[in-house]
Structure 1
Amino acid sequence: MLLHGVTMTAELSWSRVLERLGRSFRVVAPDLRGHGDGIPLDGTRFRIEDSADDIAVLAKVLGIERFTAVGYSMGGMVAQLLWRRHPQLVSGLVLCATARNVQGSWLEKLTSIYLPAMTTALYLNPFTKGATAECLDGSLLGQIHDGSTRAWARAQLSRTSLPAAMSAVESAVEFTSHEWIAEVDVPTAVLIPTADQLVPPSRQHRLARAIPHAKVFELPGDHTIFLNDPACFGEVLVAATRSVTSQNSHCSAQRNNLIFEPDRSRSALR
C-alpha cells in the first residue's frame, strides 16, 4: 500500500517505480484525502488520522486483509498511524524519508508562525479557490534536475488545492509518534536519503533506532530522489520491501499483480 508525500499525488510519488514494484508485489497506490483525486476536503481540515482510516476502508473495499504500508515523507506518518489505529491490517512497514516528528526543525518553526493564519485566510478568501500546491514546489520538493520532470511535477502539484496543501503541511508538522513508535511489532524497514534537506537524516535514523529490529537502507540523494534518480530509489525500495515481506510468507500469494486506480479508490472511500 503506497502512501505519497504531502501536497503530492500517488502518480507523482510512485509512478516511476510502479512497474518495478509490480514485478514482485501487488501494488495499490491511492491519492490521499485532499490530494489529487482523493476524497475532497470540502472546507474541512486535513488530518493524518483521517487518511489512515481512509486506507483501512479502502483495504476492506478491495478485499485486502493484510498489507505492507509503504509511506514516503508524510505518507510515512500515515503508515505509522495505520499500524497504530489498525494493527490487524498492517503486516509490515517501509518508511521512506520520514520521521517520528519534525518538531523543532526549521519547517516546524516556520509553519508554527505563519501556517495557521495562512490556512484560515486561504479558506476564507474566495480569490484563493483556484490556487494550487504548485506554488509550493520549491519548498516541499527541493531541486529537480531535469526540466521536463520539473514541469511534470508542477502539473501534478496543481491537482491539489493550495488550502488543502497548507492544511496537510500543518497536520504533518503537528504529528508525532515519539511516545508509541517503540511499540511497533511488525517487520520494518527505514529508507533514508542521506542528503535529505526537508527531513534531516538524523531524524530518520532516530526513527529507525526507536523501532525494534528495524532495518536501515541508505541511498545517496535528497528528498526528491524518487524523481531525480528513480532507478536507484526503485532498487533500494524493492530491497527494503522484500526485507519486510520475506518475514510474512503469506505476502507471496499476492505477487505479480499491479493495481493503480485513483478513481476507484476515490469512489470507494466516499
Structure 2
Amino acid sequence: MIVRADFARGMVRAFGHVLRPYPARDIPAGTMVDLPGRGPLFVTDSGPRDAPVVFLLHSVLTTGLLCWYPVIPELNKRYRVITLDQRWHGRGIRSPEFSLDDCADDVVALADELGIDRFTAAGFSMGGGIAQLVWRRHPQRVTGLVLCSTGPYFSTRDPRLRAQSRRTGRVLTAVDKLLPRPRVGRLDDTSVHTTVWAMRQFLSTPLSHMGHFGDGLGVFDSREWLAEIDVPTSVVVSTRDRVVEPARQELLVDGIAGARRFEVDGGHACCVLGAQWFIPPFIEAVDAASEVSIEA
C-alpha cells in the first residue's frame, strides 16, 4: 500500500508540472445511467436544453471528463454537451469484450435514453474512430462530425505489432497492481486541486485492459467507406502529434467530401496538455460541423 501511495504521489507531482489548471470545479456534475440491455455508465449532460447537442467522445485511457473538461465550459455557452465514459474506461460499461462498434452503439443508446434524436459527434483520438462508427452504424442520427487528433485507422494489422501490444498489456497489468484505485466518491470531488482530480480520473481506468483496448483499436479501419460520409465534418489536426501522425490525420481531410481542416499547434494530448491552444480551433470546428443544426 505504501508503494502504491508513493507511486501515485509521484505521478501527481509529474502531472502538476505540465497540466494547465483549468479548474475542475467548473466541470458539470454527472450521474450513472443504466442503458437497457447494455449496462450502467457515467454521463454528464450540461448546457442549454434547447441548444444543438454535441456528444464528446474521449480518447483511450481517459474518461469523458478527463479528456474534455477544459473545453466544456466554453462549449456550454451555446451547446448542450454530453460526455460518457466508454466501456472499461472510468465508470463505463463492464463487458466481456471491448470493441469500438459496441462503443458507437452505446452512444446512440444513450441518446435514446436522454430523448435526443440527432446530434454532432465529436471525438478525440479513439473517440474520433468511435464518432466515425456512430455515423457508419447510425447515419440518420448524426448531423455532423468533429474528428480531433485521429485518423481512419489506428494501427496496422501486422501480427507482430499485435503481439507487441499484448506484451505491453501484460506489463501494464503488473504496473496496475501498484496503482491505488480511487474510491468512486472521490471521482466526483472537484474541490481538490485539478491535478489530484485528474489523477483520480486517470487511475479509474484499469491499465490491465490495455491489451483489449489495443485489439479494439487495431481492427478499426474506415478507409473503405470514408468517402461515403455525407454530413458536415471538421478535422482538427494536431501538427506535432507523434501518436497519430499529422499525415494520417490528413487522410480524413482528403477522404471526406467537403471536410474542413482546423489546426492546433500541439501534440497528441493537446485537448488537456495545451488546452489553451486547442480550445479556439475546436470551438470553430464544432461551429462549422453544427452549422446546419444551428440554422435550423
Counterparts of 1:200 and 1:230, CA distance in 2: 19
CA deviation string 1:93-130 (max 9, x = no partner): 0000000013349xx787412223565x68xx9x8874
Q: Is the 8 A contact 2:155 2:217 kept in 1?
A: no
Q: Is the 8 A contact 1:133 1:165 kept in 2?
A: no
**Range with greater deviation from structure 2 (168-177 or 69-78):** 168-177
Counterparts of 1:206 and 1:133, CA distance in 2: 40
1:72 is matched with: 124
Shift of 1:155: 3.1
2:268 is matched with: 223
Any gaps of 5 or more consecutive residues in structure 2? 1-54, 182-192
Tell me the TM-score normalised to structure 2 length.
0.71
Matched, 1:182 2:234: no
Overall identity of the aligned pairs, in %: 37
Q: Which amino acid aligns with 2:60?
A: V
Q: Which amino acid aligns with 1:99?
A: G
Counterparts of 2:145 and 2:229, CA distance in 1: 9
Pick closer, same or farther for the CA change 1:240–1:132 going to 2, 3 Å.
farther
Any gaps of 5 or more consecutive residues in structure 1? 135-147, 252-270
Match of 1:116 among 163, 166, 191: 166
Tell me the TM-score normalised to structure 1 length.
0.77
Counterparts of 1:225 and 1:110, CA distance in 2: 30
Pick closer, same or farther for the CA change 1:112–1:235 going to 2, 3 Å.
same
2:37 is matched with: none
Matched, 1:89 2:141: yes
Pick closer, same or farther for the CA change 1:133–1:74 going to 2, 3 Å.
farther
2:279 is matched with: 234
Aligned alpha-carbon RMSD (Å) = 2.7
Pick closer, same or farther for the CA change 1:155–1:232 going to 2, 3 Å.
same
1:24 is matched with: 78
Pick closer, same or farther for the CA change 1:152–1:198 going to 2, 3 Å.
farther
Shift of 1:250: 6.1
Shift of 1:154: 3.8
Pick closer, same or farther for the CA change 1:178–1:229 going to 2, 3 Å.
same
Write 1 or 2 for the structure with the bigger share of helix: 1
Shift of 1:170: 2.2
CA deviation string 1:209-234 (max 9, x = no partner): 10000000011010111122212211
Counterparts of 1:153 and 1:100, CA distance in 2: 29
1:138 is matched with: none
Q: Which amino acid aligns with 1:19?
A: P
1:46 counterpart SS class: coil
Q: Is the 8 A contact 2:266 2:277 kept in 1?
A: no
Match of 1:4 among 51, 58, 69: 58
Q: Is the 8 A contact 1:130 1:161 kept in 2?
A: no
- Structure scoring higher RCO (CA < 8 A, sep ≥ 6) equals 1
Q: Is the 8 A contact 1:189 1:215 kept in 2?
A: yes
CA deviation string 1:63-119 (max 9, x = no partner): 0000000000000000000000011111100000000013349xx787412223565
Q: Which amino acid aligns with 2:63?
A: T
After superposition, where does 1:40-189 map in structure 2 within 5 Å?
40-41=94-95, 44-104=96-156, 111-116=161-166, 119=169, 130=177, 153-189=198-234
Pick closer, same or farther for the CA change 1:218–1:128 going to 2, 3 Å.
closer
2:240 counterpart SS class: coil
Matched, 1:34 2:34: no
Write 1 or 2 for the structure with the bigger share of strand: 2
